[in-house]
Structure formats: structure tokens, C-alpha cells
């Protein structure tokens, strides 16, 4: 069973990133709600999205350096999406959309629970 799950996640990185972004966003938001931080759901979605952006930008920067670019050009290219491949873009956008969907669902649940009181 676990072998099939790991095989699926390796074969479908954008989907696996989206699936791991769901509990990450919920966990960060729950911790921030407990700390009474302002706008915890949106902040959690932003944190998760930024994490995945950095992960994919780091990979692109590494690839661009190996293609012969100097360090500054590689860094700027990776930061501004220059030379990103479609899989890199998907592996950032999929968890970003998932994180914002979790944040929206948590906001709706919290608003409804406040109205019910």
C-alpha cells in the first residue's frame, strides 16, 4: 500500500505537492489561530506558497547555473520565473492553489461558527 502511494507521489510531483500543502496549510493556520495572529488562514497560505516557490526557484537556479549562467543571473532568472519549465511552474502553482483553497474553507468555517454563536 505504501509503495503504491510513494510511487504515485514520485510519478506525480505537482499532485503530491498539492496534497502535502493541504495539511501544511491547515497546520500553520491552526497554530496561528491558537496564537491569535491576525488573518491566520491567509498568512498560512502565503507561507506555504512561498515555501513551494522557493523550492522550485532553488531548483531552477541550480539548473540555470549548470547551464553556464553566473550566480547573479541565475538567481534573478529563478526569482522572476525566467527559464522555468512547465513542471516547475505546476509544482509551485498546484500547492499554492491547494493552500488558498484550504485557507478559504477555513475562513468560511470560522465565519459560520461565529455567526452561530
| 83-92 residue pLDDT tens | 788 988 999 9
Domain ranges for the chain, please list them.
40-111
pTM of the model: 0.86
Whether residue 98 contacts residue 19, with contact meaning beta carbons closer than 8 Å, is answered with: yes
| DSSP-based three-state secondary structure for 49 | helix
Task: For residues 60 and 94, give the distance between their C-alpha atoms in angstroms, rounded to a whole number.
Answer: 17
Helices 13-34, 40-66: axis angle to 10 degrees equals 140
- Residues 60-93: tens digit of each pLDDT: 999 899 999 999 999 998 999 887 889 889 999 9
Amino acid at each position: 500500500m505504501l509503495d503504491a502511494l510513494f510511487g504515485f507521489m514520485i510519478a506525480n510531483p505537482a499532485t503530491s505537492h498539492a496534497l502535502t500543502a493541504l495539511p501544511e496549510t491547515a497546520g500553520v493556520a491552526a497554530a496561528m489561530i491558537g496564537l491569535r495572529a491576525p488573518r491566520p488562514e491567509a498568512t498560512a497560505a502565503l507561507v506555504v506558497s512561498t515555501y513551494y516557490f522557493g523550492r522550485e526557484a532553488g531548483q531552477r537556479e541550480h539548473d540555470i547555473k549548470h547551464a553556464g549562467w553566473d550566480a547573479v543571473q541565475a538567481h534573478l532568472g529563478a526569482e522572476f520565473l525566467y527559464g522555468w519549465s512547465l513542471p516547475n511552474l505546476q509544482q509551485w502553482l498546484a500547492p499554492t492553489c491547494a493552500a488558498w483553497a484550504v485557507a478559504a474553507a477555513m475562513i468560511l468555517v470560522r465565519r459560520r461558527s461565529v455567526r452561530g454563536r
